[in-house]
Chains A and B, each alone.
Chain A
Amino acid sequence: GIQVEQSPPDLILQEGANSTLRCNFSDSVNNLQWFHQNPWGQLINLFYIPSGTKQNGRLSATTVATERYSLLYISSSQTTDSGVYFCAVKLDGNSGYALNFGKGTSLLVTP
């Protein structure tokens, strides 16, 4: 089956620090998204990034599709960045409609 592995599972940072979250996937994909789940449970779209690099403010993401991984960079972290970060993919050959999610990276940013 589809394997989506995220690392690290947990991360604690001091405010202002930078971090890199990783997502490995087991096959070629045509859809990869990063989500942030805030402490109230809401999942928020960060990036749609099946390949290449995108930036949005302090966050950026890079997907190297040929090597089957994606990275999410958080710079100058803030306490509001706390929550769980999910990577979700849809396999290239999968005719279904839904995304397969990793188990997430739980981030806590302390003041």
Chain B
Amino acid sequence: DVKVTQSSRYLVKRTGEKVFLECVQDMDHENMFWYRQDPGLGLRLIYFSYDVKMKEKGDIPEGYSVSREKKERFSLILESASTNQTSMYLCASRAGGAYEQYFGPGTRLTVT
């Protein structure tokens, strides 16, 4: 079974802090994704990566950056957290050439 793990289930940070969200997958997948989920808006793509050190902006990249130094790990960085970044963050991975996408359990981030 594919396993995608995220470093925290719940996180509380203060405005202006730098925040790191970590995602690890154990299936050697090439593609990894970060989404945020907000009530009434569904899932929106922040960034994705199709290979080590490669990244592409999604629909809402403002205020975020990402890092992929190793194939299994994809990090989402909030350089200076703001209250409008309070959300559920979901990581996903997918094998190259495959279609099915697998999700981690999510991190519920609150910025106060």
Q: Which residues of A contact B (CB under 8 A)?
A: 31, 33, 35, 40-45, 48, 50, 86, 88, 90, 96-99, 101-104
Q: Which residues of A contact B88 (CB under 8 A)?
A: 41
Residue in A31, A40, A42, A104 whose beta carbon sits within 8 Å of that of B103 in the complex: A42
Query: What is the minimal beta-carbon distance from A39 to any residue of chain B, in angstroms?
Result: 12
Q: Does more than half of chain B's interface fall in helix, strand or loop, or is it mixed?
A: strand
Across the A-B interface, the 9 shortest Cβ-Cβ residue pairs: A43-B103, A103-B42, A41-B106, A101-B43, A101-B42, A98-B45, A31-B99, A48-B100, A42-B105
Residue in A97, A101, A103 whose beta carbon sits within 8 Å of that of B40 in the complex: A103
Alpha-carbon distance between A97 and B108 when the two chains are bound, in angstroms:
25
| A40-B105, A42-B106 known; A102+B99 contact, CB < 8 A | no
Alpha-carbon distance between A86 and B43 when the two chains are bound, in angstroms:
9
Query: What is the minimal beta-carbon distance from B106 to any residue of chain A, in angstroms?
Result: 4
Query: What is the minimal beta-carbon distance from B26 to any residue of chain A, in angstroms?
Result: 16
Query: What is the minimal beta-carbon distance from B6 to any residue of chain A, in angstroms?
Result: 10
Q: Which residues of A contact B74 (CB under 8 A)?
A: none
In the assembled complex, B64 has its CB within 8 A of some CB on chain A: no
Asked whether B33 lies within 8 Å of A98 as measured between CB atoms, the reply is: yes
Alpha-carbon distance between A43 and B43 when the two chains are bound, in angstroms:
11
| A41-B108, A102-B42, A103-B42 known; A97+B103 contact, CB < 8 A | no
Q: Interface range on chain B: under 10, 10 to 19, 20 to 34, or 35 or more?
A: 20 to 34
Q: Which residues of A contact B100 (CB under 8 A)?
A: 33, 45, 48
| Shortest Cβ distance from B103 into A: residue | A43
Q: List 8 A-B contacts (CB under 8 A).
A: A33-B99, A35-B103, A45-B100, A45-B102, A86-B42, A86-B43, A97-B33, A97-B48
Asked whether A98 lies within 8 Å of B48 as measured between CB atoms, the reply is: yes
Q: Which residues of B contact A90 (CB under 8 A)?
A: 99
Query: What is the minimal beta-carbon distance from A21 to any residue of chain B, in angstroms?
Result: 14
Q: Which residues of A contact B45 (CB under 8 A)?
A: 98
